[in-house]
Structure 1
Amino acid sequence: MALPSHLDRFNRRHPWSHNDHYGPWAAARVAESGARHVLDVGCGTGNLAALLRRRTETVTGLEPDPATAGAAAARFADDPAVAVHTTGFAGRDPRRRWDAITLVAVLHHLPLVPTLRELRDCLTPGGRLVVVGCFRESGPADLLAALPAMVANPVMGLVKHPARADAPPVNMTAPTADPRESLAEIRAAAARELPGARIRRRLFWRYTLVYDAPAAGDRA
């Protein structure tokens, strides 16, 4: 059996969330911006929302998958500062603006350019957008950059989930989709729609994007 097949079977037996790995990083980027009211798009079962709640005043979570949204809503049932809505980004309150918006492994589910524009318009003056995203590998450079992740992934699985799993944990059962855009295409779109956005390639097949909207006095 080929090595990739062996690795895939091993990783399924010792699952861990690449997205949750970046949760503390995303929450820290929000906190350092001074955001008080945060929108978490595609909140899943609420792992990032829980981190954000410790460092902000309110968190609004959007999750289109009913079962996943139900788990998140139950988790925060006794916390009036966290609201979870069973809807995607299109179902947000169109009148509302947020101090910060987070998306973790969500942007590739949505049309890239229109969504970047809408995200920009949903920020308050000086607000911050924080994205942990997935991209389509295209070319030798991406394959070479993925090699450290291929080596580190099973090690992390053993550390985080040493016992063999019969099924993935609940927070890893939401619907998934393959990324459509390459990292180069995402960089180009962000340069047009989010001037000044900082994008970095990250380990475990992810990239990060941080964009700060102009302050009130800087808007054209």
Structure 2
Amino acid sequence: MHFIDWLNRFNATHPWSHNDFYGPWIVRQVRSRGARKVLDVGCGTGNLVARLIPWADSITGLEPHTATARIAAERFASNEAVEIRPEPFEQRDPGDRFEAITLVAVLHHLPLQASMKGLASALDSGGRLVIVGCYRESTRADRLVSFGALLLNPMMGLIKTLRDTPADREGMTAPTAPARESLAEIAAEAALFLPGARIRRRLFWRYSLVYDAPRRGALS
């Protein structure tokens, strides 16, 4: 059996969430900005929302997939600080502003340019946008990092499946889609609508983007 075939079979029997892997890092980005009013776009079953609860006064989760939104709403039904709305980001109240906005493996489901513009406008003064996203491989550097992830993935899968919980497994049932834009294309759009955004290629077929909105009255 070829090595890649073995990897595929092993990974299929030891699935783990590449998105949840970045949850602690995302929480640190939100906490370090002192954000208390948070919007999680495409919240899925609410694993990131659960991590954010101890650090936020108010969390709104948007999830357009009806069945997934229902799971999240039932999960946090007794928590008054959490509101789950079964709607896409495009249908949000345009008057709402948030001190932090998070997206995990969501932006590639949305129209890139319009979404970046909308996310910027939904941030409060000094608010922080934190994205962990998927990108289309297009360069040698992309493929090199992917090769490293390919080798590490089985090890992480073995560790994670020994420790996972029902919430972890349920979180991997949300709809998926292939990434359309390359990292260079994402960075080019960010330069237009999220000037100063910090973008990094990450392991496990992800990238991160952190953008801090200007504070009102700040000198340009």
TM norm structure 2: 0.94
After the TM superposition, which parts of structure 1 deviate over 4 Å for at least 4 consecutive aligned residues? Answer: none
- 1:183-205 residue CA offsets vs partner (Å, 9 max, x unmatched): 11111111111111000111111
Question: Which residue does the alignment assign to 1:116?
Answer: 116
Question: Which residue does the alignment assign to 1:46?
Answer: 46
- 1:140-196 residue CA offsets vs partner (Å, 9 max, x unmatched): 221112111001100000011149xxxx92111111110000011111111111111
Partner of 1:90, secondary structure, is: helix
Question: Which residue does the alignment assign to 2:149?
Answer: 149
Map 1:1-220 to 2 at 5 A.
1-162=1-162, 169-218=169-218
Counterpart residue identity of residue 108, structure 2: H
Instruction: State the distance in 1 between where 2:88 and 2:219 align.
Output: 28
Instruction: State the distance in 2 between where 1:181 and 1:3 align.
Output: 29
Change (3 A) 1:14 1:192: same
Task: Tell me, yes or no, if the aligned pair for 1:199 and 1:208 is still in contact at 8 Å.
Answer: yes
Partner of 1:87, secondary structure, is: coil
Instruction: State the distance in 2 between where 1:128 and 1:100 align.
Output: 5
Q: Percent identity?
A: 58
Instruction: State the distance in 1 between where 2:43 and 2:3 align.
Output: 34
Counterpart residue identity of residue 23, structure 2: G
Instruction: State the distance in 1 between where 2:162 and 2:2 align.
Output: 23
Counterpart residue identity of residue 192, structure 1: L
TM-fit CA distance, 1:219: 7.9
Counterpart residue identity of residue 205, structure 1: W
Instruction: State the distance in 2 between where 1:33 and 1:140 align.
Output: 34
Instruction: State the distance in 2 between where 1:178 and 1:122 align.
Output: 26
Partner of 2:150, secondary structure, is: helix
Task: Tell me, yes or no, if the aligned pair for 1:14 and 1:162 is still in contact at 8 Å.
Answer: no
Instruction: State the distance in 1 between where 2:150 and 2:34 align.
Output: 36
Count residues with an aligned counterpart: 216
Instruction: State the distance in 1 between where 2:53 and 2:91 align.
Output: 22
Task: Tell me, yes or no, if the aligned pair for 1:7 and 1:154 is still in contact at 8 Å.
Answer: yes
Instruction: State the distance in 1 between where 2:190 and 2:62 align.
Output: 23
Counterpart residue identity of residue 10, structure 1: F
TM-fit CA distance, 1:139: 2.8
Partner of 2:120, secondary structure, is: helix
Structure 1 gap segments, 5+ residues each:
none
Moved more, 127-136 or 84-93: 84-93
Instruction: State the distance in 2 between where 1:209 and 1:19 align.
Output: 14
Instruction: State the distance in 1 between where 2:46 and 2:106 align.
Output: 14
Partner of 1:216, secondary structure, is: coil
Partner of 1:93, secondary structure, is: coil
